[in-house]
Structure 1
Amino acid sequence: MKIERAGDRNTIDRRIARTRGLLQDALIALIPERGYAAITVDDICQRANVGRSTFYTHYADKDALRSATIEAHLRSIGRRREAASQETGSRLFEFSLPMFEHAHAFRPLHHALLASSGDTIHDELRERIRRAVREELVEKGIGDRGMPAEFVIQFIAGAFLAVLTWWVVTDMDLSPAQADELFQRMAGKGISAWDMPWSDGRGA
């Protein structure tokens, strides 16, 4: 399964986009097999069938490729999120279904990232998910009965990450839509109790 890159080729040369796509897809394929820390630039080049000089023309090192790959995934998720928002309009959270769908489409990759710890890419992906939760909660102005905003953000993000990890790792027989429906219900019950404006975390 390849990353959806429909919008990327509008801003950069097609040949550049193709080469970067090959390198990113190679990294995605290698992570479930070896883990990010064990992968070398030579491994990536061999899998992508490109030379080392070509690799370094596009990326300074393996970590730069990692960041670009995560960004490509996030853009793909963002497009799914925009489409879901237009279709549903009034969902409590828009980020969750696109992420469930993306994890389903790239299950081996997400299994490798979420089931283990210690790899930098694992921690970076988790932080990006927290950021998405933070942006949506702030955007919607969901209250917290005087609790610090960051507490609420960590609570929702942590709950979602726990459910997503459980769903991916255990390979439960739930579709992305079914998993999201359960998450929305549980999160909604908690959110419904919070009706005061955001706290800035400094107290009264």
Structure 2
Amino acid sequence: MDRRIQKSRQAIIDAFMRLMSEKEFESITINQIAEEANVNRGTVYLHFADKYDLRDQCMEAQINELLRNCMSENDLFHLPSKIALLRTFEYLEQHASFYSIMLTSKGSRVFRNQMETMFRQSLSEHLDSINLDQEMNRDITVQFLISAAVGVLEWWITRSMPYPASVMVEQFWNLLNRGVEGHEHASNPD
């Protein structure tokens, strides 16, 4: 991609994020984005179909970057390792402004849904790889764990990360292992 085109695209994304930190998504217009980015309206439409496309591409790019930087190939198909979780929390710390904006705006439901989808596949595949107790309903277990994981991440980010990433990972890891494996151990007394 031509440098000028790339620079314009990044200016639009940066302007959009600044506006998102100040206003609700629904009240932001393409004209405001263009003005904030110091480009004309047509340039915005050259890169994005509309503000929804801009938001969706920003979210998709951030989530893909999160996956690329934090998860190994094995982690994409199995429950992430403790190291991958630490990389994830550290990545979220480094990109806190984006995640905070996305999780506190009125459009946060869309972003939250994308995060849940990201977790759903790896968790579902992990549950397939272990012998989940027959009394445990797989769908309910997946939904519970995803809601808990996304909820904890959302809480941590929107509360300005009150605990270091390492503390969050320890707690999260312990809770996750109890949630997935706790029932398995409870049903198989030694």
Q: TM-score, normalised by structure 1?
A: 0.74
SS of the residue 2:11 aligns to: helix
Residue in 2 that maps onto 1:148: 137
Take 2:73 and 2:22, find their aligned partners in 1: how far apart are those partners? 32
> Which has the larger displacement, 141-150 or 155-164?
141-150
Contact 1:93 1:136 in 2 (8 A): no
Q: After TM superposition, list the pairs within 5 Å mapping 1:33-182 onto structure 2.
A: 33-82=22-71, 91-92=80-81, 96-115=85-104, 118-119=106-107, 122-140=108-126, 141-146=129-134, 147-182=136-171
Shift of 1:106: 2.9
Larger RCO (CA within 8 A; separation ≥ 6): 1
Q: Give CA deviations for 1:99-158 in whole Å, capped at 9, x if unaligned.
A: 433432232333333245x42xx1121111111211111333345323333222211111
Take 1:104 and 1:159, find their aligned partners in 2: how far apart are those partners? 19
The percentage of counterpart residues that share the same residue type is 27
Take 1:133 and 1:53, find their aligned partners in 2: how far apart are those partners? 37
SS of the residue 2:57 aligns to: helix
Shift of 1:53: 0.8
Q: 1:186 to 1:137 in 2, by over 3 A?
A: same
Q: 1:143 to 1:113 in 2, by over 3 A?
A: farther
> Which has the larger displacement, 141-150 or 20-29?
141-150
Take 2:31 and 2:79, find their aligned partners in 1: how far apart are those partners? 47
Q: Give CA deviations for 1:75-109 in whole Å, capped at 9, x if unaligned.
A: 210122235969xx985477744543343223233
Take 1:74 and 1:55, find their aligned partners in 2: how far apart are those partners? 22
For 2:50, the aligned partner's letter is D
Q: TM-score, normalised by structure 2?
A: 0.79
Take 1:151 and 1:93, find their aligned partners in 2: how far apart are those partners? 24
Q: Give CA deviations for 1:144-196 in whole Å, capped at 9, x if unaligned.
A: 3233332222111111122112212222432223212211111111111355x
Contact 2:79 2:122 in 1 (8 A): no
Greater helix content: 2
User: Unaligned regions of 5+ residues in structure 1, if any?
Assistant: 1-11, 196-204
Take 2:74 and 2:158, find their aligned partners in 1: how far apart are those partners? 27
Contact 1:85 1:94 in 2 (8 A): no
Take 1:91 and 1:161, find their aligned partners in 2: how far apart are those partners? 14
